[in-house]
Amino acid sequence: MMRAIPDILSPQAVADLRARLLAADWIDGNATSGAQSALAKRNRQLPEDSPVAADLGGQVLDALGRSPLFVAAALPLKVYPPLFNAYSGGEAFGTHVDAAIRIRRGSDFRIRSDLSATLFLSDPDDYDGGELVIEGGLAPQRIKLPAGHMLLYPANTLHRVEPVTRGTRHAAFFWIQSMVRDLAARTMLFDLDQSIQALGAALDPGHAELVRLTGLYHNLLRRWADA
């Protein structure tokens, strides 16, 4: 399931965050790469232990918690502290798959990466190239979302970032371990949740069928969740 989650950050929040990114010290993006990714990756990144990265990552985590659509789609158990990258001058990230287990350096924090997330921090008109390309299906999906919007996609998909030939593409990226590991089960729960939300806007909250569907959702989540 690949899903765009709009308005994770407001325009003002994006502007404030980007101002701090522009003033920050950047390092080679391969600081957090595995052996396979390092062969394909050319970009810059905030150091993982940077106070700026920690503060901005906390703001992103707070914003995720305020997004019902993100919670419904991801059913998050753990979220890796967001990282921040920048691409310009032809920098790119070739086709790769994200590591199955992500371990935060210098800590015992680790997650199984069920989902990957890219939170766009630059508007599409600010740079050329830089599309996030997701392989699979009948044709690759090329995504370039407005600043403040996020793409959520399975971490086991092949994907790449096209070369940025003008301007700079800033983004936050991170991984999610879901309470529901199975993609098909998680997708069914999301569809059921969205139907319940739509019916809840049209029916009395105490309507018998709405109560029945809500009970079904929670019983399925109880059966499938690892929490």
Binding site feature residues for 2-oxoglutarate: 169
Q: Partners of 102 in the beta sheet? A: 111
- Binding-site residue numbers for Fe cation are 96, 98, 159
Token pair 């919670």: residue: 71
Give the amino acid at 2.
M
For 74, 79, 94, 183, the CA distances from 127, given in Å and listed in that order, are: 29, 29, 18, 33
Annotated binding-site ranges: 96, 98, 159, 169
Q: Which two tokens stand for residue 213?
A: 């569907």
Could you tell me which residues are beta bridge partners of residue 85? 45, 171
Cα separation, 80 vs 9, in Å, equals 18
Taking the C-alpha atoms of residue 19 and residue 139, their distance in angstroms, rounded to an integer, is: 36
Closest CA to 126 of 110, 147, 149, 99: 147
- Give Dmax (Cα) for the chain: 59
Q: Environment class of residue 19 by beta-carbon count within 10 Å: exposed (0-12), middle (13-18) or buried (19+)? A: exposed
